[in-house]
């Protein structure tokens, strides 16, 4: 994906790479019921991140070994939006693809998203128990602002 982005001149948002310790902590936090498997409700963020990265999503469950492998490969890294985002432009994401980007960025309870006249997908989501406005631009930047 990176090679394709460089070849086409598309900018990719920066990533803050997760360390092995952060991956382990993320696993412990995500496995809320402590059963060693992330079910669909526990893995929503991670399944969305895999879809965004065009990686296979385990059918309904994600075990610790697979989680740690995907995490070490950088698929669960936190995306940092570019300064000045969201940017106007022709957006080829579907609503589902935009929603996956919001979920992968760590938001929950994402509302239906609508695309505005500038090509930016907009809606609401939850972040740390607070409702926020979210926007996804054509570059994949996810930006939140207080309501």
Does residue 5 surpass a pLDDT of 70? Answer: no
Domain 15-78 has CATH 1.10.238: yes
Q: For residue 42, give the nearest of 53, 33, 51, 54 by alpha carbon.
A: 33
Q: What is the pTM of this model?
A: 0.84
Section 117-132 average pLDDT: 96
Q: What is the pLDDT of residue 12?
A: 38
Residue 11 pLDDT level (bands cut at 50, 70, 90): very low
Output the pLDDT for position 18.
86
Domain ranges of the chain: 15-78, 82-146
At residue 114, the 3 state secondary structure works out as strand
Helices (H) and strands (E) in the chain, counts: 5, 8
pLDDT at 14 over 80: no
Average pLDDT over residues 101-111: 96
Torsion sign over Cα 125, 20, 36, 49:
positive
pLDDT tens digits, one per residue of 30-75:
999 999 999 888 999 999 999 999 998 887 689 999 999 999 999 9
pLDDT over 90 at 79, yes or no: no
Residue-level pLDDT at 1: 31
- Bond preceding residue 58 cis, omega within 30 of 0: no
What pLDDT is attached to residue 58? 81
């Amino acid at each position: 994906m990176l090679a394709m982005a460089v070849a086409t001149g598309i900018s990719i948002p920066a990533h803050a790479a997760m360390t092995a310790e952060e991956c382990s902590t993320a696993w412990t936090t995500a496995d809320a019921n402590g059963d060693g498997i992330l079910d669909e409700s526990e893995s929503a963020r991670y399944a969305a991140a895999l879809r965004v990265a065009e990686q296979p999503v385990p059918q309904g469950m994600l075990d610790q070994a697979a989680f740690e492998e995907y995490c070490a490969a950088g698929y669960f890294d936190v995306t940092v939006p570019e300064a000045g985002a969201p940017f106007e432009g022709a957006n080829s994401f579907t609503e589902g693809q935009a929603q996956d980007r919001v979920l992968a960025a760590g938001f929950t309870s994402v509302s239906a998203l609508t695309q505005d006249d500038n090509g930016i997908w907009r809606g609401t989501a939850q972040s740390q128990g607070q409702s926020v406005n979210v926007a996804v631009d054509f570059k994949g930047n996810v930006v939140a602002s207080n309501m």
